[in-house]
Amino acid sequence: MCSVALLELRESGLYSAAGDFYIDPWGPVRRAIVTHAHAGHAHAGCGAYLTARGGEALVGTLAGPDAAIEAIGYGEPVALGAVRVSLHPAGHMLGSAQVRMELGGEVCVVSGDYQLAADTTCAPFEPVRCHTFVTEATFGLPIFRWPAPSDVMADLHAWWRANRDAGRTSLLFAPPLGQAQRVLAALDRAIGPVHSHETVERFNRLYRERGIALAPAGEAAGGRGALAIAPLACHGTPWEKQFGSVSTAFVSGWMRIRGTRRRRSLDRGFVLSGHADWPGLVDAIDATGAETVWVTHGYRAPLVRWLEEHGRRALSLDARWEEPDS
């Protein structure tokens, strides 16, 4: 079990007293380690930020232009108080990281959000051996099992081609940071032109600056046969209406649940996520060799119960990190 000096849950989030820092705090604190730049994991107003190299510009979009952000390479150790800290790839999005902490021979790892599938837009997940592993459980139910991303993209391309041939624009909704870039990097550009909503394009530019190849910017929004990618909040708005005849789709792990597409009034749903599915969660936990697992957010209770039934100590933590559209 992780010692209180190394890691505990406080009102503002996960805190290390021995290092005097928070990990993904739920509000402004003096010193924050940020696993990735999704809202809820990074907040404005902290005195200092530590994150993985490659993600600092993304963290800056939430922390603000004047924030004191330090970025370190994966695997590069730093001393924060008495704690030896290093960051390791989480595979969730550009610059995402797990936080490894060591104190007196005891090792605890906070995963942040992670996925195990290959992804050209970020460094792949790296299992880190530890005594205590703090895991997410966004998709912590056995029903969540992802198809191969290549199969999902093949289905998405077939949908796009059919819309093109019918004279429709394909409107693909996706979380604008991480998921949208994951799709843009895998698109078959030969099918037709691509347009990114300005919210998506804002993050695209930061990815391109890090050498990630995405569909180019500046293509016209109009034109039948095009694919336009945008946040789900654009569905049913005047932005959508500018395209005329459209077919709509959403790309998310939540599309695995029957009825989600229908409730959102969408034509199609594609199951793709930056989070681990149930087998991925189990495999990642096994790879750490952790004796104790803290489960932070998502479907906590089912994962805790499964872990206990399979011989591990497990604890459910009431965390505030949620990403409903992932």
Dump the DSSP string for 127-164: ----SEEEEEETT-STT--PPPHHHHHHHHHHHHHHHH
Burial class (CB in 10 A: 0-12, 13-18, 19+), 146: buried
Q: What is the pLDDT of residue 258?
A: 74
Asked if residue 78 has pLDDT above 60, the reply is yes
Q: What is the pLDDT of residue 131?
A: 97
Asked if residue 323 has pLDDT above 70, the reply is no
Helix, strand, or coil (residue 292): strand
**Cα gap 104→107, rounded to integer Å:** 8
pTM over 0.85: yes
Percent of the chain beyond pLDDT 90? 83
DSSP classification of residue 167: T
Class (C level, CATH) for 8-143+275-316: alpha beta
Q: What is the pLDDT of residue 215?
A: 79
65 pLDDT band, cuts 50/70/90, is confident
Q: Which two tokens stand for residue 56?
A: 């600092």
Backbone angles phi, psi at 271, to 5 degrees: -85, 100
Q: Contact, 113 vs 274, CB < 8 A? A: yes
**Cα gap 63→46, rounded to integer Å:** 8
Closest residue by Cα to residue 163 from 269, 230, 247: 247
Class (C level, CATH) for 149-270: alpha beta
**Cα gap 89→234, rounded to integer Å:** 32
Cβ neighbours of 191 (radius 10 Å) = 18
Tens digit of pLDDT for each residue in 12-54? 999 999 999 999 999 999 999 999 999 888 889 999 999 999 9
The rounded mean pLDDT for the chain is: 93
Tens digit of pLDDT for each residue in 214-230? 977 655 555 678 999 99
Of 47-51, 132-136, 191-195, 302-306, the least confident: 191-195
Q: Residue holding tokens 């849950």?
A: 9
Q: Domain residue spans in the chain? A: 8-143+275-316, 149-270
